[in-house]
A and B are shown apart, each in its own frame.
Chain A
Amino acid sequence: MHDLDLLFATAKAQDAAAGPSDGLMARVLADAAREQPHPAARPAARPDTAPLLSNPQAGFWPALAAVFGGGGVVAGLGTAAVAGLYLGFAPPAAMVQLTAAVIGTTSLESVDLMPGVDALLSEELEDER
């Protein structure tokens, strides 16, 4: 073997034998522990929802808004509820006819759900002529 190769082999063996000191290993592992990410940890609860649900002082509407995901959604639900209530008190004529047929108080031959369409269609046909 060449002299230089012998020197390299000796250097390699020396490096392999001389491990890091315990102190250095401890410092390196302390660095690793400090820098290590902890992706398994749960993210903090969103501050705009969780406290409202758990805090009785926050009031009914904010808590309800938090449950459904915001005040806009609650407003939409309120509108739908009012519309349903109105339809219950003052239903359109076609709806009354259909309801009576379903319940069985009258016989149903046809239901004119869109009474204006025939007139529109006839006007269009006349225009084409």
Chain B
Amino acid sequence: MARDTLADLASEALMVLYAHGDPDAARLLAQRLLPRSIGYAARLLADRTEAEDIAQEALLRLWRAAPDWRQGDAKVSTWVYRVVTNLCTDRLRTRKRRPTDALDGAGDPEDGARGVVATLIEADRMAALNAALASLPDRQREAVVLRHIEGLTNPEIAEVLQIGVEAVESLTARGKRALTLALAGHRQALGYEEV
């Protein structure tokens, strides 16, 4: 099938094509799913290298699931987010048993070279956000990232986390409040004016 035509297809249709041996379907799926998987895993783990490993593993599982994939099953992106969530949960559990300095990469914004160059300020802001996200309970962090950074709807998040929509609303609300509190002390340091 021509690549232009393929690019218009939903990921679910691309899965079926991949399972039937189409040579271009995998590339299009990877282009769509890999950046999201890395971004999401990096927010959960605060470590991009580990996030890349997780994303590769998640897509490997997707390729293996392709022969049994049926159009009308779960959305491919939702499925991948769910696998990434589970892989990150396992990775974080391993970290708790064997503490590493991975989260140190998130940094403390007060130690950074903030205020010198705009890019450095932005880096500090992201470091502060990552540190604040890391301080949240796992479920809250997952729900907040999926809702506010990945842009999923509440029903989609409910499917990813396999919980009810009301539970998702509760998690995102509590998570956002906790983030606001965690970041409140850094407002001036992050270069935001008081509202």
| Chain A residues proximal to chain B, CB less than 8 Å | 3-8, 10-12, 14-16, 18-21, 24-25, 27-29, 31-33, 35-40
Task: Name B33-54 residues within 8 Å CB distance of A.
Answer: 34-36, 38-39, 42-43, 52
Asked if residues A4 and B179 are in contact (CB atoms below 8 Å), the reply is yes
Asked if residues B59 and A32 are in contact (CB atoms below 8 Å), the reply is yes
Partner of B30, one of A3, A29, A37: A29
Known contacts: A36-B26, A39-B21. The answer to whether A28 contacts B56 by CB under 8 A is yes
Total contacting residues, chain B, CB less than 8 A? 40
Question: Which secondary structure characterizes the binding site on chain B?
Answer: helix
Task: Name B123-138 residues within 8 Å CB distance of A.
Answer: 125-126, 128-129
Contacts of A19 in B (CB 8 A): 35
Question: Which secondary structure characterizes the binding site on chain A?
Answer: helix
- Any chain A CB within 8 A of the CB of B20? yes
User: Which of B26, B27, B42 has the largest number of chain A CB atoms within 10 A?
Assistant: B26
Asked if residues A10 and B126 are in contact (CB atoms below 8 Å), the reply is yes
User: Which of B63, B67, B183 has the largest number of chain A CB atoms within 10 A?
Assistant: B63
Task: Name B88-134 residues within 8 Å CB distance of A.
Answer: 122, 125-126, 128-129
**CB nearest neighbor in B for A6:** B192
Asked if residues B19 and A37 are in contact (CB atoms below 8 Å), the reply is yes
Contacts of B64 in A (CB 8 A): 35
Contacts of A25 in B (CB 8 A): 30, 34
Asked if residues B30 and A28 are in contact (CB atoms below 8 Å), the reply is yes
- Any chain A CB within 8 A of the CB of B55? yes
**CB nearest neighbor in A for B184:** A3
Report the minimal beta-carbon distance from A40 to chain B, rounded to whole angstroms.
Answer: 5
Report the minimal beta-carbon distance from B25 to chain A, rounded to whole angstroms.
Answer: 9
Report the minimal beta-carbon distance from A28 to chain B, rounded to whole angstroms.
Answer: 5
Asked if residues B56 and A24 are in contact (CB atoms below 8 Å), the reply is yes
Contacts of A8 in B (CB 8 A): 148-149
Contacts of B26 in A (CB 8 A): 29, 32-33, 36
Contacts of A24 in B (CB 8 A): 34, 38, 52, 55-56
Asked if residues B126 and A14 are in contact (CB atoms below 8 Å), the reply is yes
